[in-house]
Structure 1
Amino acid sequence: MKPTLPLVLLFLISLQQIHAQEFEPGYIITFDNDTVQGMIKEQVDNDLVHEIEFRSSSDSESKEFNPRDISGFGFDYGRTFRTFKFTDIVSEQEKVIFAKEVEKGKIDVLIWRKGKNRKPDMFLINRATHDTVHLTRPKKKMTTVDGRDFSQEDRDYLRLLGDVKGEEFEQKKIRYTEDKIRKDISLHNQEFSDAYETRSYKEKKEREYILLGGTAVSGPSFQEQSRIRAAVIQTRTAVERTNTFSYISGVFYTYREKKEVSIPTQYFYKGHLNYKRQVLSFIPIGLMFQSSPGTIRPYIYAGGGVGVGKLDDYFIEFEAIQGTDTEYVVAPTLVAGAGLKIRVGSNYLVTEISPGSSGVYLSAGFSF
């Protein structure tokens, strides 16, 4: 058997595993209120609004369903969507979508995430009165006061929020964000928990750990120094909202040691000469951007924190090494890197290039 054939077979098996891992156990609900168990292709909310892919079993063919085919669907881990029909505020045309259920109680809250808009549309349904309101991201409007023009944010959503609760409730001023409106409705629903079952959905978040190790491939006195880099990076991704943006934190270590030290020839020279430096950086916060899930995922990241450095110096006097000295330094630090993640089964092999104070590092590792 030629050596290339096993590699091709391994690649094809990996692709099959990747495709299978895109599907999560779930169910669809027909308009006759029958529940059909199976597997649903997991995607970000925005990609599930108009169509889903469903399999009756892990090895069966996929079938597509849109909101006019079924009354809803859900994943077994608790993420659910309901078919929702409404008249669009702008076009005044009827639309049918899969809206995500996030709050349940006297008032149900459904959300509609659209593209990169961080503030989704929200549908609030009062189960007691059957009133429904459609909240949209506030728009800026111009007002004139004493002959001067001002830009002011539309606050109609506050009136609608108060209307759906009922006239006896005075709506307080809150910002138009998903979290704040959900919290406001959740508190309202708790007042009626004896009459209505309440539920607040907590979105799924995933953590990934990247382990890296490498060496410098360029920099000052490249051939005259030993330089290594190691890192442990944790990523945190709200996978239901995005699969390309993550928060990161981590620990980074760099080591540099000169193979030979050039001693100053001035007879009266007296001072310290660094020959070894180690830096341990703690990065509590950073950002990573990467491509959508696939076989190969390019990524880039940057973060900030604090670094603790250990500097080992020679004490030079009379053209000779007279002793050694160690100094510890604490200072702000920045880290950055760019690389590729190559998927193998459920994990990734990782290769990365990153800048440092003593050169450019090439690292390799894996993530899980």
Structure 2
Amino acid sequence: MKIAVLKEQADGERRVAATPETVKKFIALGATLAVEAGAGETASIADAAYADAGASVADRAAVLAGADIVLGVQGPDPESLAGVAPGAWIVASLNPFGERARVDGYAAAGYEALAMEFMPRITRAQSMDILSSQSNLSGYKAVLDAAAEYGRAFPMMMTAAGTVSAAKAFVMGVGVAGLQAIATARRLGAQVSATDVRSATKEQIQSLGAKPIFVENVAGIEGEGSGGYAGEMSPEYQKAQAELVTAHIAKQDIVITTALIPGRPAPRLISAAQVASMRPGSVIVDLAVEQGGNVEGAVAGEVVMVNGVKIVGHRNVPSRLAADTSALFSRNLFNFLSAFWDKETGKPVLDAEIGDAIRLTKDGKVVNARLLA
């Protein structure tokens, strides 16, 4: 079983799909590892470290030749996989809804494409969940990015020259990224509040020492989608939340938005009028900017100034902490493949529960129910 690890080709992608740690673990299972030269450089991993772990380090053609499994962070272009035989697995974050043409390319080439972001959110798959591992560090980095753009201190400081007031930070969307953003802003000394469409998150917000900001008296609107993700809000809830947020957001110094709905554009949480209500010098970080953005006026890949308010729209935030996010991503991949490793055949064999959820293509066809609906 030959496993190929590729150097990422997407613009700005600094992560890598395997580390020396996971290379050793795969070899212990009986696999052979081949790593493309330079694959780990932007994640602070030298080629020599892979070689010391037992992998062969070579050019792309040699790495792909005869590969049974190709590991990536972002899905590689099917045309860049020359030498990979039909039936090989492509295991990565494949963006199935946004890159449907690429998925069709995998099918045409006969590859079995496995989308790690489609991993079901069930107990036994928690250690395989790339969305959670990457979102956790995205939430942390969002607060650091906000602090870097904010022209004042976060904590309250009492000095002989007077008192510096604590920054007020508001987190919108309390999933994995939002919870980490709350915790990080609290550690930096900010006065933190948060909101979500899922009422069950209220206790989580309070457990981190933040103030929950929730719509009350809108019966039956929980915002709970399948698999623990947020669902779409009803018009009644949207109206009530907009009124609540408008009053609250005008008093905030930092706002971090994290709301995403799988397979759909990011919901609009902050309007231009709400941005205009904030004080000059305030900062908004939109973690959903690449999916259309939670904030009106956010621009993917840019920090823009609107009425004195900075709106931060960095692309690929996990890649901005490449060493740590690569370590977590690569462990997700190892945990996934090793959980299904069959010692007798020397390869992973998927079961229906997880296999059917993440398999996009097989035998020349697109087979995933979410793409065929």
Both proteins in one fold, TM over 0.5 = no
Q: Computing the radius of gyration over CA atoms, which structure comes out larger, 1 or 2?
A: 1
TM-score norm. by structure 1 comes to: 0.22
TM-score norm. by structure 2 comes to: 0.22
Give the helix-richer structure, 1 or 2: 2
Say which structure, 1 or 2, has more relative contact order (CA 8 Å, 6+ apart): 2
Give the strand-richer structure, 1 or 2: 1
